[in-house]
């Protein structure tokens, strides 16, 4: 045992002399282990950040949990809202523990039924009375005071209220005014209940400090009046008045007094708000949180409020209102898709890292062989040699791995430290194995002086050629499969698919195959150059090219080829994401802005062109139609095409509809059908003429084109688009009221457009620029962009390290050769030039081949990656080639390689030729 | 052949001594063929060699004659393709890997011409000498290593690394390394090839001292005539076979002076083949076939004049009848 320790101790002495190779390998292992251990934590952090960002981007109400009970809860003597609070506590305790973990705050809102304001106003106006503890901290009194329970004996049941200043304006009321109220029987809460008129005395007006405060859960009732469109040309102004909790008994009395026997008093809607804090939700919690939410949804009906006479929580149908589970499930699917893409992109840098490790190991191992062969000649057994090699590999690799693990834990403390260290040590172990397996086979007892048996055959063996051919065949097959099947393996409906590891590794396999081909091709390129150099007088070119033709740059070639491939692939992916987002934005909005009615058609006869900032406007009618003698029931969209042309001229949306739709109104009218319509046996193919019926009118139509989708029609796959002017010409009395409006306006007009339109009708305004920004900045898309960029950067770092290591070690190994040449008069610059020129052919082949391969691979694999679908593209777009960005990437890679070359040559110059000659040892 | 005759022949064979019995190194019809890509190189073509215990012999030959191949085989670094090689009772053609490793540790010590093949540059002289003992698991390594360095006259340079030693000192350390595990045979491949004549003499003198004091058999492969002239026997190898041996003995003249007599012999192998010295062959233009004549106490060799015309310098009139 002591002998073994002494033997290993002696072999470690070598590391003192050959620090460069040991340090180079140590650095590579450190970087690799650091990346491997930090990547999962970073991914977890990105996953959590992405999830929370997406949650925060959602409207506040759907991402929280609201339990609603419509009941008249009796007040308790010491706390008017005591009964409601007890119910709140009971409901909270009944939440699944996983849900309670993510709830940060609770609140109670008590709403009365809706009352009509019977005073004469410009527009019908309503008022709801609300008690919302906590609201007083989030408003600022403008005038007057907060209401109290002071009025007790007024038989007309006057209740003190405070309202938003803007609501007071809408009511034409001031401080001290009394607003007469009558129960609005159209309110579902009121239903068939009864209530006598009451009076609301305005004692104060306020402003909501921050209407966007998540505490309000998106409920802007107290912030000001809300316009509600009840028909095509009628609106109602809804207001909400604030009461204090002490007024709760008064509210109950006011809403029940004077009723006849048998009359049911109006219930109070109690909303128990459980505020979900996105910061408390982690991606890793979803597998338990989603089932818990599903259990919650199965426990309570979905906001299907019913009235009930019994007042215990256990017996009351408490309704649930939340969109959290649906969002989390959708997010999980998106993140799963993103992970698959990231797994494909991660394989590339991992492969480059492995190649770089193998390259460094090959150099380090080669330098060891002479010493190990000497020891073998002195009687060292293969076991002793193996032990020494393994011990040195462990000595160089494992400490680096531990350091990497420690750095990871310091930089990203979240998560189990052991996991990070374990991952780092695993990579260190792999590096040690690579170093061992690269070194050992070369240690044999050959004729140490002759080397006749060491002569390498010039041609590769048949076995080697078969292996390389197999790799190429597998790469081609994998590429085809990935393009056809996509990244996800087959999965059962409803379950999340997992990435097929073979298919995910296809890009790396393709890179390896290309590398093997390049290694075979480089000598074919270099040999003629070497012959030309021989005819010339340049020493550097002659020496370098002769050396290059003999091989030895294969390792560096593979690393650089893989890096260039990853760089070009990443550029393609990022550009594709951007372009897909842009296309999706145009396709989803169809113009700069799309206005759509929330409660039905848009306001009739509204001239959208007069909205401030709008340069052109066009409208679109949408209604359900039918095709004669046909089972299909498509949506008919009639577009004001002449104005639509003005809206979209010069934009990508201008090509959405063909010119054939224009023209006089002569039957059959030209129409555009959806792709699904065209594909259905009972549908309408391009070229077919059918009779279409809409709103009681019939006309002949001929399909002139088909489209997969159209703005405003994303929720249906069966649609027919027709020129509205042609329809109006045929049927002048057809109502064809607009459901959508397309607006042309600049991005800075968004706020003004929204304000103007929301004041006139109940509608939403979707901006294309905003949608594009949200698509591009969507957390999942950002995560993918970050992952792709990180993969390219990591690959570039490895390339620089590999080039530097290769030059340092090659330079050191060839110190004797260069020292001899220097004794013949070779200058320092020429020596550096030889090293540089020797590697230049490999670098050129690697760059050009790698960039071409990266572009080609992305073009071939893009349909299978699903990048376009991630931003919502319905169809795969043809992959883009951004020459400018590609050139920049190539330039960046050149800079990286030059840095590596510079570093390698700098270190190589530092070795003394005299010392090398005297040392006489490689 | 009848059965009785076969039995008689076998009995006779058993009675005769086996070739080389008693010698420390036995090479019997040794053949070594290398296959490099599609090429076959026959480095040894049936070499016979016997070395007795305690001898110091030199092996000389032109480049490519096979002497390094022979050394590699005797050193356990290579295996013969055919024939027999036995060193100190170890049949080198029959050994497995483990036995070969043990053989290299304990039976032979090798000294190469180049320092980088003798010494590890990152170890001191003392550590280099200890290395074989560590590999063999020997105890008391430090004391023995110090002893050996003292034997070679470098006790004061024990802590020096090879780069701080001169060429001669490096070779002396290499000798100490080779002696670490008390080998029976020292094999030296051009040990003085890179040294000047004075240093060469020192190193070779040390080898002879090692032979005399430690009773280690020494086999030196050399081009150096100064070396080959100082050994008792010089074996010349040509075309993969032993061709001649030069045996030296010291004689006292009538005047009382000591003089060294060197006699060159052509080696006759067991098949009865011998190689004529090249000078003789070229002088007489001996080619293709020669005529032999058995005399009372010698065998005469004549060129074949029927093909080549008159031969030079010898009686061309002898014919087959005359030789009888």
Alpha carbon distances (Å) from A99 to A113, A290, A330, A422, A620: 30, 9, 18, 32, 44
Residue A140: band (very low, low, confident or very high) from pLDDT cuts 50, 70, 90: very high
Full DSSP string of A572-611: HHHHHHHHHHHHHHHHHHSSSEEEEESSSSPPTT--GGGS
Alpha-carbon span B114 to B205, nearest angstrom = 19
Q: Is A470 in the B-facing interface, judged by CB distances under 8 Å?
A: no
Among chain A residues, the shortest Cα distance to B162 is held by A919
CB–CB of B163 and A918 under 8 A? yes
Q: What is the distance in angstroms between the Cα of B244 and the nearest Cα belonging to chain A?
A: 25
Task: Please count the residue pairs, one from chain A and one from chain B, whose beta carbons lie less than 8 angstroms apart.
Answer: 101
Per-residue pLDDT of chain B (324 residues; tens, 9 = 90+): 566 566 655 555 554 457 778 889 999 989 999 887 678 888 898 888 999 999 999 999 888 888 888 998 999 888 899 999 999 999 999 988 888 888 988 999 999 888 778 888 888 999 999 988 888 888 888 999 999 999 999 999 999 999 899 989 999 999 999 999 999 999 999 988 888 888 888 888 999 999 999 999 999 998 777 777 788 889 988 888 888 888 887 778 788 887 777 788 888 877 788 888 888 888 988 888 888 899 999 889 888 887 654 444 444 444 444 443
Contacts of A379 in chain B (CB under 8 A): 101-102, 104-106, 132, 135-136, 181
pLDDT, one tens digit per residue, over B130-144 is: 988 888 888 888 999
Question: By three-state DSSP, how is residue A435 classified?
Answer: helix
pLDDT, one tens digit per residue, over A381-399 is: 888 888 888 888 898 899 9
Residue A576: band (very low, low, confident or very high) from pLDDT cuts 50, 70, 90: confident
Write down the pLDDT at residue A496: 35
Q: Is B112 in the A-facing interface, judged by CB distances under 8 Å?
A: yes
Residue of B38, B103, B120, B223 to mutate when probing chain A, most A C-beta within 10 A = B120
Among chain A residues, the shortest Cα distance to B43 is held by A452
Alpha-carbon span B179 to B168, nearest angstrom = 17
Let me know how long chain A is: 922
Write down the pLDDT at residue B324: 38
Q: Is A7 in the B-facing interface, judged by CB distances under 8 Å?
A: yes
Long-range CB pairs of A484-490 (<8 Å, 24+ gap) are A484/A864, A485/A864, A486/A863, A486/A864, A486/A865, A486/A866, A487/A340, A487/A341, A487/A343, A487/A344, A487/A864, A487/A865, A487/A866, A488/A337, A488/A340, A488/A866
Higher per-residue confidence, A486 vs B245: B245
Tally of CB atoms within 10 A around A825: 8
Write down the pLDDT at residue A825: 63
Full DSSP string of A222-245: TTS-EEEEEETTEEEEEEEEEE-G
Residue A360's closest CA among A30, A105, A692?
A: A30
CB–CB of B122 and A453 under 8 A? no
| Paired residues of A319 in beta bridges | A68
Among chain A residues, the shortest Cα distance to B132 is held by A378
Among chain A residues, the shortest Cα distance to B137 is held by A3
Question: By three-state DSSP, how is residue A857 classified?
Answer: helix
pLDDT at A647 over 70: yes
Full DSSP string of A530-572: HHHHHHSS-HHHHHHHHHHHT---HHHHHHHHHHHHHHHHHHH
- Residue B109 in contact with residue B185, Cβ under 8 Å? yes
Helix, strand and coil content of chain A, in percent to the nearest 5, comes to: 55, 15, 30
Domain residue extents for chain B: 277-324
Alpha-carbon span A167 to A172, nearest angstrom = 8
Alpha-carbon span A258 to B41, nearest angstrom = 123
pLDDT, one tens digit per residue, over A848-874 is: 888 888 888 888 777 776 666 666 665
Over its C-alpha atoms, chain A yields an Rg (Å, rounded) of 37
Q: What is the distance in angstroms between the Cα of B58 and the nearest Cα belonging to chain A?
A: 19
Alpha-carbon span A574 to A800, nearest angstrom = 23
pLDDT, one tens digit per residue, over B218-276 is: 999 987 777 777 888 899 888 888 888 888 877 787 888 877 777 888 888 777 888 88
Alpha carbon distances (Å) from A150 to A243, A248, A249, A518, B159: 12, 12, 12, 91, 105
pLDDT, one tens digit per residue, over B285-299 is: 888 888 889 999 988
The full 3-state SS of B14-36, as one line of letters, equals HHCCCCCCCCCEEEEEEEEEEEE
Contacts of B122 in chain A (CB under 8 A): 13-14, 16-18
Residue A506's closest CA among A878, A881, A864, A889?
A: A864
Write down the pLDDT at residue A319: 87
CB–CB of A379 and B136 under 8 A? yes
pLDDT, one tens digit per residue, over A685-730 is: 899 899 998 888 889 999 999 988 888 787 788 899 999 999 989 9
* Helix orientation angle between A779-813 and A883-909, rounded to the nearest 10 degrees: 30
Tally of CB atoms within 10 A around A751: 11
- If residue B60 lies in a helix (H) or strand (E), which one and from where to where? strand B56-61
Look up residue A660 and give its DSSP letter: G
Q: What is the distance in angstroms between the Cα of A392 and the nearest Cα belonging to chain B?
A: 15
Alpha-carbon span A255 to A269, nearest angstrom = 13
Among chain A residues, the shortest Cα distance to B36 is held by A453
Residue of A19, A373, A375, A379 to mutate when probing chain B, most B C-beta within 10 A = A379
- Stretch A539-551: mean pLDDT: 65
Among chain A residues, the shortest Cα distance to B178 is held by A378
Residue A638's closest CA among A707, A704, A710?
A: A710
Alpha-carbon span A532 to A181, nearest angstrom = 101
Please tell me which of the candidates B34, B37, B131 has its beta carbon nearest to residue A457.
B37
Q: What is the distance in angstroms between the Cα of B233 and the nearest Cα belonging to chain A?
A: 25
CB–CB of B122 and A452 under 8 A? no
Alpha-carbon span A557 to A275, nearest angstrom = 57
**Torsion angles phi and psi, residue A43, rounded to 5:** -65, -40
**Range with the poorest average pLDDT among A289-298, A406-415, A558-567:** A558-567
Q: Is B166 in the A-facing interface, judged by CB distances under 8 Å?
A: no
């Amino acid at each position: 045992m002591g002998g073994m320790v002494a033997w290993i101790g002696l072999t470690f002495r070598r590391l003192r002399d050959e620090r460069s190779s040991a340090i180079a390998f140590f650095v590579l292992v450190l970087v690799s282990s650091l990346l491997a251990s930090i990547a999962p934590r970073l991914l977890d952090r990105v996953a959590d950040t992405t999830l929370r960002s997406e949650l925060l981007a959602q409207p506040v109400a759907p991402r929280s949990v609201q339990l609603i009970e419509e009941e008249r809860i009796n007040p308790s003597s010491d706390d008017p809202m005591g009964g409601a609070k007890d119910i709140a506590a009971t409901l909270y305790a009944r939440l699944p523990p996983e849900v309670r973990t993510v709830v940060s705050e609770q609140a109670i809102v008590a709403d009365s039924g809706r009352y009509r304001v019977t005073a004469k106003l410009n527009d019908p106006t309503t008022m709801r009375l609300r008690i919302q503890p906590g609201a007083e901290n989030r408003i600022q009194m403008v005038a007057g005071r907060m209401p109290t329970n002071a009025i007790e004996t007024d038989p007309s049941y006057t209740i003190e209220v405070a309202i938003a200043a803007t609501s007071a304006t809408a009511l034409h009321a001031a401080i001290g005014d009394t607003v007469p109220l009558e129960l609005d029987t159209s309110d579902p809460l009121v239903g068939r209940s009864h209530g006598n008129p009451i009076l609301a005395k305005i004692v104060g007006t306020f402003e909501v400090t921050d209407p966007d405060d998540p505490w309000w859960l998106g409920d802007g009732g107290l912030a000001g009046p809300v316009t509600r469109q009840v028909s095509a040309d009628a609106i109602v102004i809804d207001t909400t008045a604030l009461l204090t909790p002490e007024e709760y008994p008064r509210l109950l009395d006011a809403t029940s007094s004077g009723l006849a026997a048998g009359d049911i008093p109006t219930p109070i809607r109690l909303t128990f708000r459980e505020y979900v804090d996105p910061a408390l939700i982690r991606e890793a919690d979803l597998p338990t949180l989603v089932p818990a939410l599903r259990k919650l949804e199965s426990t309570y009906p979905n906001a299907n409020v019913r009235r009930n006479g019994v007042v215990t929580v256990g017996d009351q149908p408490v309704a649930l209102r939340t969109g959290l589970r649906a969002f989390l499930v959708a997010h999980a699917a998106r993140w799963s898709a993103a992970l698959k893409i990231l797994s494909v992109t991660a394989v590339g840098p991992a492969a480059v890292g492995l190649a770089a490790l193998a390259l460094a190991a090959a150099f380090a191992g080669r330098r060891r062989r002479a010493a190990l062969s000497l020891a073998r000649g002195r009687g060292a057994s293969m076991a002793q040699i193996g032990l020494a090699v393994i011990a040195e590999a462990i000595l160089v690799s494992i400490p680096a791995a531990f350091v990497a693990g420690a750095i990871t834990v310091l930089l990203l403390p979240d998560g189990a430290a052991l996991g990070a260290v374990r991952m780092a040590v695993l990579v260190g172990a792999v590096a040690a194995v690579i170093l061992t397996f690269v070194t050992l086979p070369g240690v044999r007892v050959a004729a140490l002086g002759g080397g006749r048996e060491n002569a390498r055959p010039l041609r590769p063996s048949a076995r080697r050629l078969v292996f390389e051919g197999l790799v190429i065949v597998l790469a081609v097959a994998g590429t085809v499969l990935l393009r056809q099947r996509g990244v996800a393996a087959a999965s059962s409906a409803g379950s999340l698919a997992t990435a097929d590891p073979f298919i995910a590794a296809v890009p790396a396999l393709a890179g390896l195959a290309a590398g093997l081909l390049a290694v075979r091709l480089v000598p074919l390129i270099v040999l003629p150059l070497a012959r030309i150099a021989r005819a010339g007088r340049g020493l550097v070119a002659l020496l370098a090219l002769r050396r290059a033709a003999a091989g030895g740059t294969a390792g560096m070639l593979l690393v650089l080829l893989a890096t260039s491939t990853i760089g070009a692939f990443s550029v393609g992916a990022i550009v594709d994401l951007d372009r897909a987002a842009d296309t999706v934005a145009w396709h989803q909005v169809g113009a700069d802005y799309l206005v759509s009615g929330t409660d039905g058609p848009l306001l009739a006869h509204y001239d959208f062109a007069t909205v401030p900032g709008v340069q052109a406007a066009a409208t679109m009618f949408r209604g359900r139609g039918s095709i004669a003698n046909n089972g299909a029931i498509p949506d008919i969209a009639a577009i004001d095409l002449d104005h639509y042309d003005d809206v979209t001229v010069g934009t990508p949306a201008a090509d959405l509809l063909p010119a054939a739709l224009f023209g006089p109104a002569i039957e059959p009218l030209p129409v555009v059908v959806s792709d699904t319509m065209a594909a259905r046996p009972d549908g309408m193919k391009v070229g077919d003429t059918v009779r279409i019926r809409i709103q009681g009118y019939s006309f002949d139509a001929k399909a002139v084109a088909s489209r997969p989708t159209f703005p405003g029609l994303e929720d249906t796959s069966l649609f027919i688009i027709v020129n509205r002017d042609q329809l109006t010409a045929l049927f002048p009395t057809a109502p064809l009221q607009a459901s959508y409006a397309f607006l042309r306006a600049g991005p800075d007009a968004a706020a003004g457009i929204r304000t103007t339109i929301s004041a006139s009708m109940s509608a939403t305004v979707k901006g294309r620029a905003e949608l594009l920004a949200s698509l591009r900045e969507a957390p999942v898309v950002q995560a993918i962009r970050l992952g792709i960029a990180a993969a390219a950067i990591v690959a570039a770092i490895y390339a620089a390290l590999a080039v530097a290591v290769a030059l340092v070690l090659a330079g050191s190994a060839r110190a004797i050769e260069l020292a001899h040449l220097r004794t013949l008069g070779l200058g320092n610059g020429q020596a550096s030039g030889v090293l540089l020129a020797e590697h230049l052919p490999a670098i050129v082949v690697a760059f050009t081949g790698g960039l071409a391969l990266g572009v080609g691979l992305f073009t071939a694999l893009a349909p299978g990656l699903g990048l376009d679908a991630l931003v919502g593209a319905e169809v795969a777009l043809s992959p883009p080639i951004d020459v400018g960005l590609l050139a920049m990437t190539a330039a960046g890679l050149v800079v990286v390689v030059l840095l590596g070359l510079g570093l390698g040559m700098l270190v190589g110059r530092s070795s003394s030729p005299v010392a090398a000659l005297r040392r006489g040892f490689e | 052949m009848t059965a009785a005759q076969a039995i008689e022949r076998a009995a006779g064979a058993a009675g005769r001594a086996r070739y080389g019995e008693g010698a420390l190194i036995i090479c019997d019809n040794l053949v070594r063929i290398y296959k490099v890509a599609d090429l076959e190189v026959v480095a040894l073509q049936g070499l016979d060699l016997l070395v007795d215990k305690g001898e110091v012999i030199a092996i000389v030959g032109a480049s490519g004659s096979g002497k390094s191949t022979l050394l590699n085989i005797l050193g356990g670094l290579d295996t013969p393709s055919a024939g027999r090689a036995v060193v100190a009772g170890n049949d080198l053609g029959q050994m497995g890997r483990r036995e070969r490793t043990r053989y290299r540790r304990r039976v032979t010590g090798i000294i190469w011409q180049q320092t980088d093949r003798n010494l590890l540059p990152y170890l001191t002289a003392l550590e280099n000498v200890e290395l074989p003992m560590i590999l063999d698991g020997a105890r008391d390594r430090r004391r023995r290593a110090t002893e050996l360095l003292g034997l070679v006259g470098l006790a004061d340079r024990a802590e020096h690394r090879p780069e701080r030693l001169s060429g001669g000192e490096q070779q002396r350390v290499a000798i100490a390394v080779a002696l670490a595990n008390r080998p029976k045979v020292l094999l030296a491949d051009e040990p003085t090839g890179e040294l000047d004549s004075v240093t060469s003499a020192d190193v070779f003198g040390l080898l002879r001292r090692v032979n005399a004091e430690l009773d280690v058999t020494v086999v030196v492969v050399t081009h150096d005539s100064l070396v080959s002239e100082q050994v008792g026997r010089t074996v010349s190898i040509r075309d993969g076979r032993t061709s001649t041996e030069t045996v030296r003995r010291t004689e006292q003249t009538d005047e009382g002076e000591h003089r060294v007599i060197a006699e060159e012999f052509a080696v006759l192998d067991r098949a009865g083949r011998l190689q004529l010295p090249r000078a003789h062959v070229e002088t007489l233009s001996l080619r293709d076939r020669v005529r032999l004549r058995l005399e009372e106490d010698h065998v005469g060799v004549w060129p074949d004049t029927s093909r080549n015309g008159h031969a030079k310098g010898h009686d061309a009139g002898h014919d087959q009848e005359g030789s009888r």
